[in-house]
Chain A
């Protein structure tokens, strides 16, 4: 057993320290009307530039990295560095090119507009 472990140990020392940030799923609200789907995600403390939103092959993945920069001595800490990550399935009817996002008060709001073909249409009956 011991011999085996020795073989697996690397000779070189890795100077790079891998920082493990805990990953949690942000709380979300999802609402829909005829025009679009809205997605609200709570991401307190995440900077705009640390958020990435990817839509690929019908999957929407959100990721936001928060860095809590402590000052002085820590008396207590209930929240720290964290990565908010969550993946959703996006229906085919979404116009991917028109998706836009805003960040306000630590809440990310995604607008997912429906494509023209998916919007409900009222069909008028013409008089013959």
Chain B
């Protein structure tokens, strides 16, 4: 008798899982996503690009709606950490109809491919894109070798 009961329980559990999956479907339904990007990537932090210009490493981060004072950038050796907080910008006294952007805090860290000069880091925030230009340390810079 008890084993039968357990079978019933298991069946209902399976149904619960199915129900939660179906509920989850609609959450992602009209979310924008880049072709080829993994679903839920936006949850794990802002998207970033990294470029190598030889003398510099340039990192760009998508941080729409994040103010300058809400960003913190830490550099330790070749470990870079960017933290940020996005606050709600809807003013008081408004009723909300749609909330897709939300408030969030994020952290994204990078291990830089080369040693950088911590004193020569430029960070700019423009149109919701944070651009970091990190100057490579002298030994890591490319050198032209002349053939004698």
A1 interface residue, CB < 8 Å from B?
no
Give bound CA distance, A32 to B98, whole Å. 10
**Smallest Cβ-Cβ distance to A39: which chain B residue:** B98
A-B contact count (CB 8 A): 127
Tell me how far the C-beta of A43 lies from the nearest C-beta in chain B, rounded to whole angstroms: 7
A6 interface residue, CB < 8 Å from B?
no
What range describes how many residues of B lie at the interface? 35 or more
Residue in B51, B63, B100, B129 whose beta carbon sits within 8 Å of that of A74 in the complex: B51
Give bound CA distance, A38 to B57, whole Å. 39
**Smallest Cβ-Cβ distance to B53: which chain A residue:** A72
Query: Which A residues form the contact surface with B (CB < 8 A)?
Result: 22, 24-33, 38, 40, 42-47, 68, 70-80, 82, 84, 103, 105-107, 109
In the A-B complex, the 8 residue pairs with the smallest Cβ-Cβ separation, listed nearest first, are: A106-B128, A72-B53, A44-B128, A24-B32, A106-B64, A31-B94, A78-B47, A44-B64
Query: Which B residues form the contact surface with A (CB < 8 A)?
Result: 30-35, 37, 41, 47-54, 56-58, 60, 62-67, 89-91, 93-101, 113, 125, 127-129
